[in-house]
Amino acid sequence: MIPGRKHARLMFHGYTFKRYQVLVNGHVRWRCSKWHMGCRVSVKTNTEDPRAGILLIENIHNHERPTLVRNNEVYFLATKKKYPLLLFDKYTFKRQSILTSGGVIWYCSNRHYGCKAQVKSIQDSYVFGKIEHNHDPPRCTQLSNGTWIRTRKMKKYKPRKL
């Protein structure tokens, strides 16, 4: 189970599902989180707790599984600006918006160069999203005190001619 805006989400075989309907007999129907994008997969469980058993799975997904990782691979980089950068999988992300559920949407730091990668973090525990970059990762270094900094490529020194 993953925290959601109103209700918890179901994670099954790497795909996420939103609670759709509680039936009279207590069974719960879940829809794929990409239902609005045309994925018509649904799951029926005995109760709201999926550990009680999954009864039925309908259809096949028409999209890839979302990438979901635990917080131990996510770091925050201090910046001179108001908000930190999120460092995830060697790439940096800028905070875009805070959701009412407490989650945060992050866009790739190179979005102004056309990179469409974005991730969503939920309660600083999970990160998932569209993580396909059109560029190489920036250079980041971890200091001895555990903090991360973004380093820039040094320009070669050219001595002046007199």
For residue 129, the domain's CATH number is: 2.20.25.240
Q: Are 110 and 85 in contact (CB under 8 A)?
A: no
Q: Are residues 79 and 144 in the same domain?
A: yes
Higher pLDDT, 20 or 147: 20
Q: Are residues 29 and 94 in the same domain?
A: no
In a domain, 5, yes or no: no
121 and 82 assigned to the same domain: yes
Q: For residue 96, what are its two tokens? A: 């875009």
pLDDT class of 155 with cuts at 50, 70, 90: low
Query: Would you say residue 19 lies in a domain?
Result: yes
Higher-confidence residue: 65 or 105? 105
| CB atoms inside a 10 Å sphere around CB 18 | 17
Do 78 and 43 sit in the same domain of this protein?
Answer: no
> Which is higher by pLDDT, 134 or 100?
134
Please, which pLDDT band fits residue 17 given cuts at 50, 70 and 90? confident
Please name which of 123, 148, 150 lies closest in space to residue 139, comparing C-alpha atoms. 150
pLDDT band (50, 70, 90) for residue 124:
low
Mean pLDDT of the chain: 76
Same domain, 76 and 146: yes
User: Looking at the 3D structure of the chain, how many domains does it have?
Assistant: 2
- CA proximity to 1, closest of 125, 130, 131: 125
Look up the domain containing 81 and give its range.
67-151
Domain boundary pick from 39, 58, 77: 58
Question: Using CA atoms, how far apart are residues 146 and 36, in angstroms rounded to an integer?
Answer: 41
pTM exceeding 0.75:
no
Structure confidence at residue 52 (pLDDT): 66
Q: Which residue has the higher pLDDT, 55 or 17?
A: 17
